[in-house]
A and B are shown apart, each in its own frame.
Chain A
Amino acid sequence: MSQTQTAATPDERVKTRSSFHQLLIRPELGGICGVIIVFAFFMLTAMDSGMFSLSGVMNWSVVSSQFIIIAVGACLLMIAGEFDLSVGSMIGFAGMSIALLSVTFGLPVWSAIILTFILCMLIGGLNGWLVIKTGLPSFIVTLALLFILRGLTIFGAITATNKTIVGGVRDVAQGDWLAPIFGGKVFTGAFQWMADQGWIDTFSRGVKKGQPIVEGIPMLMVWALGLVIFGHYLLTKTKFGNWIFAAGGDAQAARYVGVPVNRVKIAMFMFTAFCACVFATAQVMEFGSAGADRGVLKEFEAIISVVIGGALLTGGYGSVIGAALGAIIFGVVQQGLFFAGVESSLFRVFLGVILLLAVILNTYIRRKITGEK
């Protein structure tokens, strides 16, 4: 199968490497190993806790999907050489914007969602524009936005409703065409059918008697999968993807050969905002309410997932698949320790250890690949 390179005479100084080695040495290796370790750990410690039953799987899959959604945005942005610390505040802001526009101001839910997406992406664009115009590190600029957006969210909620939690979204979203794209479930028919066959658990009492406990696949998971596929293709299979690597690898070198670095970076800030907005919309639809304190620390969870996934903090290197694996590790560990009945403070210890191991492995691999010293 691999007889394609027989024509070129090999350089005697370049050691030939086995294809197994080639396969192993890739940016996602840290993430893959982490996932294996994490699953092995919980298979051993929490096998009969329900963690691997259908509803258990759904539980950590949904949490992982949430992490994936924001990790994809953070990943592409980090590869393009920038950070966005305002993601968490953006989540709170977007959720509150949807709730206020629809519940308090009576706009149809679909238009509240669309307006919020436009607003958030404009703010994302502003983040990028400020970073480029001021030449300041994005760390500082988006840190300012972290405070500004959070402050505005609380202020807006208090001013409009006198509360920091705005409910009633579920009622106004009834019958809306756009809301189910974020809060709905798919394959409900298939799950009902499996329940009828007795393959999956059903409610044994109450109004839902006979209905499956897991009704279907939440749209949140569909979004996560869609964003991973989109992000992976954009990064590795398109011209724009090459510009993302170039912008983060060396912006000046990229500019010299005509790559529109500023446009690429601003676009990635907007994409990060888009991802935050997807997260927020799905969360608002699920809870039926928006809270001014939603999304706190999410930016760090996204960045940690991306780094576990093999991306270089300083940009120019990384993988969307890796970031998704990082997010899965994050989600599974967080929920798994709950299933295993372990003190939740140990979540942090475990996560810290995984983070350290993955980053050490990633750094080793990256040096192998890129020849960095």
Chain B
Amino acid sequence: METPIIEMKNIQKHFGSVIALSGVSLSVYPGECHCLLGDNGAGKSTFIKTMSGVHQATSGEIFFEGKPMSFSRPREAITAGIATVYQDLAMIPLMSVTRNFFMGNEPTKKVAGISFFDHKKAADITMAEMKEMGINLRSPDQAVGTLSGGERQTVAIARAVHFGAKVLILDEPTSALGVRQTANVLATIEKVRKQGIGVVFITHNVNHAMVVGDRFTVLNRGKTLGTAKRGEIEADELQNLMAGGQELAKLEIR
């Protein structure tokens, strides 16, 4: 049996007296798309933030490629290969696509012993990566603010993939998008998955999940009701679970 890239076991997270997560488990295998479903406030964002080093779990274990691991800051998770596209903070609209793409990872070149931002290299890579994802930029200096919501998500995903993500976490990438743009983002997820990257796709839209998901985990009020494989569960069942219906445990637990 293959080892998961990342395995979260029984994660609890308390914010003072608020129990945001009470024992959530989830694993991600290479090349799979694992959908994390749940209503607003279920704890989805909190959960993935413990995965990406933004929050530290109150209790529970994290295994990265089989080894126990704890990330105390986002940088460590990024270095390990966990890339996250956050719900609303993925991109800085005032900055150009290139500056956003390389934010925190700027390529440099030395001129007379001084280190400079290699704009040419950054622009070339950005244009090429965007073209790959089907976005034609007017220029690499085009501001992210001029892109549509779907295009912004795509830039963020391309950025994560470019910097060698093994796991890509997408927090509600489709929640604010129209039909066309959603389709584009789902197609991008499919592309990324085929490259062997494990994707965690957060959504509260069951239909979006059914299009690309291999496995489904439902969160409800900080609790998980188990994980189901594709083909073992119907859309309306997932919908019920999100609303706090019957135990998924009865259906299947991996």
Q: Taking beta carbons and an 8 Å cutoff, which residues of A are in contact with B? A: 5, 8-11, 14, 16-17, 237-239, 241-243, 245-246, 249-250, 252-259, 312, 316-317, 369-372
Contact = CB atoms under 8 A, between A and B. Distances in A.
Given A11-B136, A237-B117, A256-B84, A242 B103 contact: yes
Contacts of B103: 242-243, 246, 253-254, 257, 259
Contacts of A246: 92, 95, 99, 103-104
B147 interface: yes
Contact of A256 (B54, B94, B119, B139): B54
A238 B99 CA distance: 11
A257 B53 CA distance: 11
Given A14-B138, A16-B138, 4 more contacts: A17-B138, A246-B103, A258-B104, A316-B94
Contacts of A372: 93-94, 145
B100 to A, nearest CB: 8
Contacts of B127: 8
Interface string B94-112: 1100010011111010000
Contact of A253 (B89, B102, B116, B117): B89
Interface string B57-87: 0000000000000000011001000001010
Interface string B126-158: 010001000010110001011100000000000
Contacts of A249: 92-95
**Among B99, B117, B119: residue with most chain A CB under 10 A:** B117
A309 to B, nearest CB: 16
A8 B136 contact: yes
A249 to B, nearest CB: 4
Contacts of B136: 8-11, 14
A48 B243 CA distance: 81
B147 A245 contact: no
A242 to B, nearest CB: 5
Given A8-B127, A8-B136, A239 B92 contact: no
Nearest to B116: A237
B163 to A, nearest CB: 9
B95 A245 contact: yes
B91 interface: yes
B89 to A, nearest CB: 4
B94 A238 contact: no
B210 interface: no
24 contacts: A9-B136, A10-B136, A237-B117, A238-B115, A239-B108, A239-B117, A242-B103, A243-B103, A245-B92, A245-B99, A249-B92, A249-B93, A249-B95, A250-B89, A252-B89, A253-B90, A253-B92, A254-B104, A257-B74, A257-B104, A317-B94, A369-B143, A370-B143, A372-B93
Contacts of A10: 136
Contacts of B102: 242
Nearest to A246: B103
A259 B99 contact: no
A10 B127 CA distance: 13
